[in-house]
Structure 1
């Protein structure tokens, strides 16, 4: 018990002795609470250094701990510097410990000499090689650490991003920038770039590539207008592309359409090929761009207005639209799967005619996706509605079950039947051709209201008229039967897009054969 008390007393005495020996120094980086002082078991020091950029002298007042003092009694840092011309460390230090705050009275000055070549005065303080080591070694270690960190970061970036994509981003504004293929030669066309960069995912180009392509497009001429904005023909390295420019108030539609187009495994021959999405802001206005494949035949609406089709082309067009819609509606399971998607605005103006007279479905701004994992329908917040003329009865009378995804698919099939009616009217059979008309052209005005369409479709239960002469031709008779099975008021009784696709695939279409 007595020994413990003696030990405690010794510890207290030693602590008091250490505190009594602590040297107080003026400290320019300390706080006002400490009265700008620090305590040390070593030295107080004052330093003067030169700011290389501004040429201003910087004075520092600090503590130098004993453990940083080497040798302990006369640290190298505190030794007077030499005057050799090679010692050009632009700092001088003075140390003391004879009393508290002794470093306040010191203001070390830098020596100077004239540059023999320029005549300008150059500040310098020469020091020994030991001083150089003290300053240089920590600096060198820091540089090495920074280089290691940068190297690790660079390696990660190389693994995450294709080198070709990085090169395109660095040269984004260069119209002559080559996009290299696997063999090192320039990619021949956009299709090559898509095949090289999507890795088979079908989810669209990487965002950096999209930005690069979009910013190299030259707008040529306007090819269409709509509620969303305008469609332009653009040129990208000699290739035509379609540029859909949304107005700023249609930002939701632009974002939604770009989002849907980049759904995994969506890319398909009968879905309009998506290339890029980009927003361009010059400070006063914002343009929202959606870049897609360009089809010189334009929309199905434009094509049918100026051209007639034979029975073979009619079936080919109808089959390609059904194939595209079937792919949209289909859910593909797996790690590279695709959710089921419903279009919600299928019409002849949203179907593009390709060079081979097959079709591709476009304008996915109102599309909805079905999330099977949580059994919910992903409906985007969008003030737009579908085209009233093509709305299904259950949409017009608001009885559609929006929580049931099949309801949206059945509404698409109804609109598909109306598109088929438009194509069939322009089919040349026996030399008789009907002029192009929109569905219900004879019972509603050019821009019908919801109420007008509801009365015609839901109350009066009218459908587009089918000419009697269609029954005289096998192909037109089969097409008319398909239309009727798409138009049922009972949505559950309508054909599926897959069933329509299979029916058309098996349809023999002899031209101009009367039965």
Structure 2
């Protein structure tokens, strides 16, 4: 009896453990009754985006007409075939777009690999990379373009280099003066200091005091190793004028005793904005306008000054042919404020920002891209009435000659025993700041020219000078003298040969 009871008890425990094992396997493989799942349908079975099931939580994605559709719902045990088994499409690895799980709300986080979100995350790094490359490329292109514009490399243009290069490659900076450096390194054929040295010197200049202002900016007297230099500081809006003037000054064979001596050009950052510097020789007498306003001159000084301006203009207009030849250049803004007086009372022509060059090969004119125009008071008739052929170079030279005639008239008024008060050309015909219409009316319509005082006729030199200036401001440009002819005529007047004739 006792044995029988033990056997029964062992069978009971064996069956119990067997049922527990089956229940554990069933819990592992099959769903749990009352499982909560995320759903995206409407109806009594889906309340507050939640449903309950005795099967599985289900999620899937399908593609219809190119649009992906997602489904989230409960999969009940009654829909599973075969019953009690896991659906074949829920088995791992069978279907990438179907997901089954058996924990509460486990299907909410399902995002199939083929959905647009996953694709987007795969593409985003590439998009970001391409955007970064594009931005870097655009910045590099802009910087390269700006660098070429401001510091063109090549003959006759500016170089931007590391300062250490200047120290090692140009030891002449030791104790040499500016003039020594120019003569030693350029043999007088070029203009300005060696291109690799310019920036080094510009950084060593101390500005002393301001000596002039204009529409481009300011002019300062600077000091470099005990020498005075003139520093023309352009405003950032006049970048094109600064670059153009520096470019013209560095024209091969331009250096001349009657052309303002160019030293260097540089762009300097003062901490707030970029300053554009043009460094030239300094002349303590200032401009011819300042000189004539404050002082009078005698007949010999008149001839010397006029001849020096004519000589400088003739050199500008001259086309020097050769391997390192100089193109012909027209000034386009010749006036007393753009002419400087040296200590020996000869003159130099400066301010070449509006100058144009003649391209002999193509017979074309290299015109600056700046919006500046010449001074209205000194404009020739053909410029005022816009009849000048701007495609040809000779009309520009003839326009310079007209302006030169007005400059000589200003000088002649301050000459003699009883000089006249300084006045600008057409002071008695137009307002102090004349408009184009005022000048057009006086010069083109009425064809008036500055008056010649009677006292000039009794002075042989002033009389001869007046004949020259009248031949400079003819209404017909072709009838005007050339700069070379003016130079020779003034040289004859100075020697007395012209007066004797």
- TM-score, normalization by structure 1: 0.64
Which residues of 2 match residues 245-324 of structure 1 at below 5 A? Answer: 245-282=233-270, 284-324=272-312
Alpha-carbon contact 1:312-1:509 (below 8 Å) kept? no
Displacement, 1:282? 4.2
Alpha-carbon contact 1:179-1:186 (below 8 Å) kept? no
- 1:458 and 2:435 correspond: no
- 1:480 and 2:469 correspond: no
Aligned to 1:493: 479
- TM-score, normalization by structure 2: 0.65
- 1:398 and 2:386 correspond: yes
Residue ranges of structure 1 left out of the alignment (5+ in a row): 1-159
Displacement, 1:199? 3.6
2:203 and 2:304 mapped to 1: Cα distance?
36
Aligned to 2:164: 170
Runs of 4+ in 1 over 6 A off after TM superposition: 165-168
Q: Match of 1:243, SS? A: strand
Per-residue CA distance 1:142-197 (angstroms, 9 max, x = gap): xxxxxxxxxxxxxxxxxx9xxxx99993287x9xx99754xx9721x210010112
2:318 and 2:491 mapped to 1: Cα distance?
18
Aligned to 1:127: none
Aligned to 1:104: none
Alpha-carbon contact 1:263-1:338 (below 8 Å) kept? yes
Aligned to 2:324: 336
- 1:186 and 2:175 correspond: yes
Q: Match of 1:507, SS? A: helix
Displacement, 1:284? 3.0
Please provide the CA RMSD for this pair: 2.4
Aligned to 1:444: 430
Q: 1:509 to 1:470 in 2, by over 3 A?
A: farther
1:385 to 373, 386, 405: 373
2:278 and 2:316 mapped to 1: Cα distance?
19
Alpha-carbon contact 1:168-1:212 (below 8 Å) kept? no
1:178 and 1:301 mapped to 2: Cα distance?
42
Aligned to 1:361: 349
2:374 and 2:339 mapped to 1: Cα distance?
15
2:231 to 237, 243, 249: 243
Q: Match of 1:355, SS? A: coil
Displacement, 1:202? 1.6
Q: Match of 1:280, SS? A: strand
1:292 and 1:307 mapped to 2: Cα distance?
25
1:464 and 1:166 mapped to 2: Cα distance?
48
Q: 1:167 to 1:229 in 2, by over 3 A?
A: closer
1:185 and 1:252 mapped to 2: Cα distance?
34
Q: Match of 2:189, SS? A: coil
Q: Identify which range, 356-365 or 200-209, moves more after superposition.
A: 200-209
Q: 1:298 to 1:282 in 2, by over 3 A?
A: closer
Aligned to 2:144: none
1:387 and 1:401 mapped to 2: Cα distance?
19
Which residues of 2 match residues 408-419 of structure 1 at below 5 A? Answer: 408-419=396-407
Displacement, 1:212? 0.7
Residue ranges of structure 2 left out of the alignment (5+ in a row): 1-153
Q: 1:171 to 1:373 in 2, by over 3 A?
A: closer
Per-residue CA distance 1:342-373 (angstroms, 9 max, x = gap): 00000000000000000000000000000000
Displacement, 1:203? 3.5
Alpha-carbon contact 1:241-1:294 (below 8 Å) kept? yes
Alpha-carbon contact 2:182-2:188 (below 8 Å) kept? no
Which residues of 2 match residues 43-82 of structure 1 at below 5 A? Answer: none
